[in-house]
């Protein structure tokens, strides 16, 4: 008998007014797998992640996490579902009014565990060191950090409570190539270390090649192709070929 | 035909505006009900409530105090000029006290705090919406209503009566300084007149108004910020709407509360 997928989407659809962003997304992510979703801007990658997290309610379809349907969950069952997740947001989404360590330890301080300040701070500093930041960063505010450092803090926050599933939304956007590579390495290491299931959305192909086990390409609101990273270069799918080689000619219109 | 088209367009425009207002009122009512329900149910973020209390109450003291002292001073001058016309100058102290405590303290204090706090709350929460910090709260298993809206509502509702009580005292002192220093009243007689004619209901009604205004200020800031549009323009619009909405609601609530307290 095959193992229950960690995350499963069946026919998920979402429209904003007359703009149908998702038109029936089917996707399955196995436990411990690193799935990367690629696709152009505005093709619904972020909407897919937000539907899984319950930040956006899909119009149709089903979303299952560990076999349990979550797209209509609320209250405690939703809180229990969210406890499994960690997320690195594209812009970091660090809380401006809190120091770096309070950001990293937010879930430890306010979530189910409600650790004392000293203990939470110690864990936060340990996580900051794990992502390559010095202890003195802990008492700074997010506005005092560079873009790369903010990403690292976001990464430390995402892993602080050792989640079962981690989402990465455009983890290397806005970073220089060296810092982007450092972040990619960190993501790969941390996901392996924690044994988490990872789902990343990006259009940075070097990121894809570094962190993906499997790749799914979304275009026109559906998954056009899904397969192992090793098969991506020879997928035989015109959408994937055009996208990964960055060609203007092909089935994907350059101007959307 | 042109006239018919014009009338149709006009009616359609009025209809759209009315529907828009009804929709906003409905959304605001649902938001208020959710906010109040979260205020009554744990968990409470006590640290956050204390932080907001400090921001809303303590840091609004200078602006509220300045408003009160000048309002009390002007009131004393104006009432003196008016009452001199029928030889009732001795009523200056009591009218200044009643005017400040019943109306000007809570209303002007409320309007000043609305300008300062409602705008700040809308801008802060609106920016959090735009930069996905509110989504981040959700993914960290924290209800944004509990963490952002509830502490601000509780802090503003508790802080405003304290602020207004201080403003009342400062406003009366403003009237006293002008009355004694500029208009030549005897210090003891001025203070006696103030205390003798001031009743418990005058002070109590002003403080209840202040609590309601505090709730309105935080509610409008949170509502507009929480539902802020995307980008700098969206946050700017939310900030403006919060101040305008809070100010209009304060004036409307002031009338309703005055009717309730003093219509009998």
pLDDT mean across residues, chain B: 92
Question: Is the CB of A91 less than 8 angstroms away from the CB of B132?
Answer: yes
Nearest chain B residue to A94, by CA: B133
Rounded CA-CA distance A207/A181 in Å is 8
Question: Is the CB of B133 less than 8 angstroms away from the CB of A87?
Answer: no
Contact A128/B at CB under 8 A: no
The 10 Å CB-count burial string (b at 16+, else e) for B67-78 is: bbbebbbebbbe
Model confidence pLDDT, tens digit, residues B67-113:
999 999 999 999 999 888 888 888 899 999 999 999 999 999 999 99
Query: Which positions ≥6 away from A250 have C-beta within 8 Å?
Result: A238, A239, A241, A242
Chain centre distance of CA B45? 24
Interface test with A, best of B137, B140, B226 (most A CBs within 10 A): B140
**Percentage helix, strand, coil for chain B under 3-state DSSP, each rounded to 5:** 90, 0, 10
Chain centre distance of CA B221? 11
pLDDT score of A2: 63
Rounded CA-CA distance A65/A58 in Å is 15
pLDDT score of B188: 92
pLDDT score of B230: 83
Contact A199/B at CB under 8 A: no
Question: Is the CB of A107 less than 8 angstroms away from the CB of B135?
Answer: no
Strand A222-228 and strand A214-219: the pairing is: antiparallel
Model confidence pLDDT, tens digit, residues B219-238:
999 999 999 988 889 999 99
From residue A35, how far is each of A52, A199, B138, B158, B172 by CA, in Å? 14, 5, 23, 50, 69
Between chain A and chain B, the number of residue pairs with CB atoms below 8 A apart is 53
DSSP category for residue B59: G
CB A167 within 8 A of CB A142: no
Q: How far apart are the first and last CA of chain B?
A: 55
Rounded CA-CA distance A3/A239 in Å is 30
pLDDT score of A233: 87
Question: Is the CB of B140 less than 8 angstroms away from the CB of A93?
Answer: no
CB B131 within 8 A of CB A93: yes
Q: Where are the domains of chain B?
A: 1-41, 45-262
Is residue A145 helix, strand or coil?
coil
pLDDT score of B180: 93
Nearest chain B residue to A161, by CA: B140
Query: Which positions ≥6 away from B36 have C-beta within 8 Å?
Result: B153
Q: Which two tokens stand for residue A84?
A: 């499994």
Is residue B8 helix, strand or coil?
helix
CB A196 within 8 A of CB A96: no
Question: Is the CB of B139 less than 8 angstroms away from the CB of A112?
Answer: no
CB B104 within 8 A of CB B111: no
From residue B170, how far is each of A88, A225, B62, B66 by CA, in Å? 50, 72, 11, 8
Question: Is the CB of B135 less than 8 angstroms away from the CB of A93?
Answer: yes
For residue B131, list chain A residues with Cβ-Cβ distance below 8 A.
Answer: 91, 93
Q: Would you write out chain A's pLDDT as a tens digit for each of its 256 residues?
A: 468 899 999 999 999 988 889 999 999 999 989 999 998 888 889 899 999 998 899 999 999 999 889 888 877 788 888 889 999 998 889 999 899 999 999 999 987 778 899 999 999 999 998 888 899 999 999 999 988 889 889 989 998 888 899 999 988 887 788 888 888 888 888 888 888 899 999 988 888 999 999 999 999 889 999 999 999 888 888 888 888 888 888 788 765 5
Is residue A183 helix, strand or coil?
helix
* DSSP character string of A30-88: -TT-EEEEE--TTSSHHHHHHHHHTSS--SEEEEEETTEE-TT--HHHHHHHHTTEEEE
Q: Which two tokens stand for residue B183?
A: 């208009």
The 10 Å CB-count burial string (b at 16+, else e) for A82-113 is: bbbbbbbbbbbbbbeeebbbbbbbbbbbbbee
């Amino acid at each position: 008998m095959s193992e229950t997928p960690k995350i499963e989407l069946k026919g998920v659809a979402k429209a904003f007014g007359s703009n149908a962003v998702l038109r029936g997304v089917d996707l399955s992510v196995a436990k411990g797998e690193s799935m990367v979703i690629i696709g152009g801007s505005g093709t619904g990658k972020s909407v897919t992640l937000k539907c899984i997290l319950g930040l956006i309610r899909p119009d149709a379809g089903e979303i299952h996490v560990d076999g349990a349907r979550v797209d209509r969950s609320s209250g405690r069952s939703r809180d229990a579902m969210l406890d499994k997740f960690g997320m690195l947001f594209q812009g970091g989404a660090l809380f401006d009014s809190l120091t770096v360590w309070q950001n990293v330890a937010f879930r430890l301080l306010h979530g189910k565990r409600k650790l004392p300040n000293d203990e939470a701070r110690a864990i936060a500093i340990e996580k900051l060191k794990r992502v390559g930041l010095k202890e003195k960063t802990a008492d700074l505010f997010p506005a005092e950090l560079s873009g790369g450092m903010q990403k690292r803090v976001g990464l430390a926050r995402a892993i602080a409570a050792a989640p079962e599933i981690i989402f990465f939304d455009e983890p290397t956007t806005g970073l220089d190539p060296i810092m982007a590579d450092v972040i990619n390495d960190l993501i790969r290491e941390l996901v392996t270390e924690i044994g988490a299931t990872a789902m990343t959305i990006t259009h940075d192909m070097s990121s894809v090649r570094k962190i993906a086990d499997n790749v799914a390409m979304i275009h026109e609101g559906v998954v056009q192709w899904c397969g192992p990273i090793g098969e991506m270069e020879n997928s035989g799918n015109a959408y994937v070929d055009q996208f990964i080689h960055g060609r203007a000619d092909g089935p994907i219109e350059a101007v959307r | 035909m042109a006239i018919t088209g014009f009338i149709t367009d006009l009616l359609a425009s009025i209809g759209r505006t009315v529907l828009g207002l009804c929709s906003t009122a409905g959304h605001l009512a649902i938001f208020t009900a959710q906010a109040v329900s979260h205020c009554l149910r744990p968990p409470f973020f006590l640290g956050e409530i204390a932080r907001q209390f400090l921001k809303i109450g303590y840091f609004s003291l200078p602006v509220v105090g300045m408003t009160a002292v000048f309002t009390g001073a002007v009131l004393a001058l104006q009432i003196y000029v008016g009452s001199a016309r029928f030889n009732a100058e001795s009523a200056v102290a009591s009218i200044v006290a009643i005017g400040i405590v019943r109306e000007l303290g809570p209303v002007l204090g409320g309007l000043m705090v609305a300008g300062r706090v409602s705008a700040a709350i809308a801008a802060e929460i609106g920016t959090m919406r735009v930069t996905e910090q509110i989504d981040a709260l959700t993914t960290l298993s924290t209800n944004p209503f509990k963490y952002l809206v509830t502490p601000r509502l509780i802090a503003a509702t508790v802080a405003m009566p304290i602020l207004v009580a201080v403003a009342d005292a400062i406003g009366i002192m403003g009237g006293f300084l002008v009355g004694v220093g500029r208009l030549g009243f005897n210090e003891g007689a001025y203070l006696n007149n103030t205390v003798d004619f001031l009743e418990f209901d005058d002070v109590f009604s002003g403080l209840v108004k202040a609590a309601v205004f505090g709730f309105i200020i935080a509610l409008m800031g949170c509502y507009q910020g929480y539902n802020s549009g995307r980008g700098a323009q969206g946050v700017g619009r939310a900030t403006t709407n919060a101040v305008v909405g809070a100010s209009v609601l304060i004036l409307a609530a002031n009338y309703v509360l005055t009717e309730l307290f003093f219509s009998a």
